[in-house]
Structure formats: C-alpha cells, structure tokens
Structure 1
Amino acid sequence: MGKGIHPSGYSNILVSSIIIILLSTGIVLIPIYLFIKIIAILSAIILILWVVLFFRKPKKIVESPIDDIIYSPAFGEVVVIEKIFEDKYFNEERIQLSIFMSMSSIHLNFMPCNGKLLKKEHQRGHNYHARKAKASMLNEMSTLIIQSNTGKQLLMRQIAGAMARRVITFINENEYAKAGDTIGVIRFGSRVDLLLPIDTELYVNLGDKVKGGWTQLGKLKY
C-alpha cells in the first residue's frame, strides 16, 4: 500500500465509494438470490480497494538525487525507446522513452531530475489506448519542459489513456523541484513520455519494470 494515500485521491475515493456503495446497496435490496447479493458486496469492496490503490504513495523515493541522473517519472513498464525528431519545442533529434502505467500501477507522477519547470501546456484530446503511438500526439496530455541542474532540457508528457479522464499537474512554471518530488497524477490508466537529449546514456531496456522516483533511467552528459 505504500506510505498512505496522496491527498489528490481523497475526493475521487470518496465519490467512487459513495457510488459503489449505493449501487451495491440497491442490488442487495432487490429480492434476488443470496449468492448474488454476496457477490455484489464483495465486488463493491474490491472496487473501492482498487480505487484506493491508484492513489497510494510509493514505499520509497530517492532521498539524495544526483543532478545528471534521470529517474523514472512513473511506475510501470518501458514500452518505447526510440529516436525521434521533435519539431515543436526543440527542433532536434531526441530519445523518446515511454512508460505505460497499468491499471494496478501507482498513478502519481514524479519529477525526473533536479531542476526547474520552464513551460507547462495542457492539451485536450482523445482517449486512445496509452500503448498506441498516436496517444503521444492525440490524447489529452500535459506537456512539461524541464531544465535540469546540468543545464540540459528535457520534455515530459503526462498522457491520458483509454480509462484515464483527467491529467493533473501540481507543479507550476518557474518552480524548482528535485527528482522524486510528486508533481502530478493521471487518473485511471495512462502513460508518461520523456524526450531526452540524444546523447543521454540509458540504463533501461524495453520491457523493464520501473519505479517512479526511484529507478534510474539514464545519465545526462554535461
């Protein structure tokens, strides 16, 4: 369960719990077989616990992050590592590293490096499955341009998925944060993209499981 529940989940847990309890109570009050009522009650308990798990805090995050190290901004699986040409913010070749957050992952997002947020943009969009390539361009997302303490800049995208309906970013432009700080949340299924300098030395491979605010993804070159 980690170290408690993040405050961003309180309202979601409360509203979801009320809806689930009302629905299950309605089923229980209907004159139907007892085993169906028992299934309804057990299902309600499981659903409430599932919502709670979405917003659990991680058991550990890096305490003394190193300036030139990139840490994972999310819990999940590395699903994309490729070179792309980024033509909106940097106009240069970058390494795209994408992390898919499953329905059982912690859905908080974390600062990937020590540094300052230079720019934040929110885009409304579709809800394609987060594993699809077009999700990086067409889904609802929040784009963050971060300048690390090394002087290098990187891009981080919080991308809504098929089940996600809201992307929230806590950090504001010109705010400083250290790697591992909680800077956002994507509610219910999603993905996080990083666009790193082309000379970044990567420490992970496709299919690797990573932990937000803890796993070292790579090293920036000065």
Structure 2
Amino acid sequence: MIHKEGIPFLGYTLLIMIVVIIFSFFLLSRFIFVFISVFFVILYLFFVFFFRNPKRISYDENYDQNYNKESIVSPADGKILNVQPVFENEFLKKNCICISIFMSPFNVHVNRFPVSGKIIYVKYHTGKHVIAWLPKSSLQNEHSTIVVESTKGNRILFRQIAGFLARRIVLYAKKDSIIKKGDEFGFIKFGSRVDIFLPLKSIILVKKGEKVIGGETRISFIPS
C-alpha cells in the first residue's frame, strides 16, 4: 500500500519523467535515451518503495492491563542510535531516558503513536537540516514535539526531527485529541530521526544498534 503523502509526489514525478523520456527519445542519442529511461525507472521504483505503508499488527491493550504496567512501542522504523539519560527542557522539564531512532531512506517513514492517551502538547519548530544522527540535530534541526498523557497517567514526549535529506515533516497530531497506540501521527520525507523521552523508572527493552518496527516493537515498560 502507498502512503497518502506519496500519491501526489508519485503522480507529479511520473509525469515529469515521462516528458523527459519523450524529449530524450527525439532529441538525444539512442544510448542516452536508454540510459535516462533505465535511470528513471529505477529511481521511480525507489520512490514507490520509500512511500510504502505496510499494514501493522493492531496492538493489544489488554497486555498492559494484565501485567499491571504500561508498554511503549517504537514510534518509527529504524535503528536505535542512543539510549541515554537527558534533561528534557521543552515541556517535561525533568530528567528522562531518551531513545533515539534513526530512519534511513530505506526504512518505512510512517510515524506511529507509542502509547494510547490524550495529546496535551503539540509544537512545530523551524530549524536547520544537519545530519540526523548528530546529537545537536535534536533541537537545532527542523522538528516537531508531541506530548501524550497516557491512559495510566504517564507523560510521554516524542519528537520528529528532520535530517540532511529530510525536507518536510508532516504532522497529524492535534492537541486534546484522544489517540490509540500504533495509529499514525505523522510522516517525514527522505531520512530522519525520532526521539522519545521516557520516565527514569522505565524498563528499557532495546539497546544501541538494534532495529525496531514502528507500532510493533516494544521498546520499554513503565511500572505502575
């Protein structure tokens, strides 16, 4: 399935590519025409691959109730960059455990809510586009911040961060909305990063270098 953010892009791109191929057929040599055609086909297939939106398994909320704790799922596909204690100074104003997830251009770029609850804070920040795996990118780059107060009363902050290739953050989250774990909250185009800030008492289930799947991989438990 193609994500809705990709449909207009794929349509415009296909039209432009067809026009260029037609002109190259009449104006350029056969070799250059074939080269351009093959290159555009490969490039277009990559764009289709990038905007894929695979169906994810619905999350079972009864799991948390049965085990008397709250589980947090990964908000993005990608690789764990860091798991470290930090001071979150935008909204929570306290020490947290930050899990950073890097999304390469080959990962699914749909972002999903890591927990169910109510959105209490949403803010978009303009910024730079330095390489997303650098620590300074968290606050210097273009980014958006969302805070959800979970059904168990925990406040979970997560942040979409644009990278060197990523030039557009799409955010669907709206303040005061009631949301469900695993549902989409946004999309970042062409490489990026997501940081999630958890309470210090959280039990972390992932480590640096591990690959995670958005909406499915449990990355933490928060004891009741």
TMscore range, shorter length? over 0.9
Residue in structure 2 matching 1:170, options 169, 172, 180: 172
Residue in structure 1 matching 2:5, options 5, 8, 17: 8
Moved >6 Å (runs of 4+): none
Query: Which whole-Å deviations, capped at 9, do the CAs of 1:167-188 have from their partners, x for residues lacking one?
Result: 1111211111111101110011
Give unpaired runs (5+ residues) of structure 1: none
Deviation at 1:196, TM superposition (A): 0.8
| CA distance 1:16–1:31, change in 2 (3 Å) | closer
Letter of the 2:160 counterpart: Q
Percent of residue pairs identical:
34
Asked if 1:217 is matched to 2:214, the reply is: no
Report the aligned-residue RMSD.
1.5
| Structure 2 contact 59–216 (Cα < 8 Å) conserved | no
For the residue of structure 1 that corresponds to 2:111, the secondary structure is: strand
Deviation at 1:30, TM superposition (A): 2.8
Residue in structure 2 matching 1:131, options 114, 130, 133: 133
Deviation at 1:86, TM superposition (A): 1.4
Matches within 5 A, 1:186-205: 186-205=188-207
TM-score norm. by structure 1 comes to 0.92
Match of 1:159 in 2: 161
Give unpaired runs (5+ residues) of structure 2: 65-69
| CA distance 1:25–1:140, change in 2 (3 Å) | farther
CA distance in 2 between partners of 1:25 and 1:112 (Å)? 47
| Structure 1 contact 16–51 (Cα < 8 Å) conserved | no
Residue in structure 2 matching 1:150, options 149, 152, 165: 152
CA distance in 1 between partners of 2:21 and 2:196 (Å)? 41
| Structure 1 contact 160–191 (Cα < 8 Å) conserved | yes
Deviation at 1:61, TM superposition (A): 2.9
Query: Which whole-Å deviations, capped at 9, do the CAs of 1:40-63 have from their partners, x for residues lacking one?
Result: 111111111211222211242333
Match of 1:104 in 2: 106
Letter of the 1:140 counterpart: E
For the residue of structure 1 that corresponds to 2:5, the secondary structure is: helix
CA distance in 2 between partners of 1:72 and 1:21 (Å)? 39
| Structure 2 contact 82–101 (Cα < 8 Å) conserved | yes
TM-score norm. by structure 2 comes to 0.92
Residue in structure 1 matching 2:53, options 51, 57, 60: 57
| Structure 2 contact 146–173 (Cα < 8 Å) conserved | no
CA distance in 1 between partners of 2:195 and 2:57 (Å)? 20
Match of 1:21 in 2: 18
Letter of the 1:16 counterpart: T
Residue in structure 1 matching 2:208, options 206, 209, 214: 206
Letter of the 2:35 counterpart: I
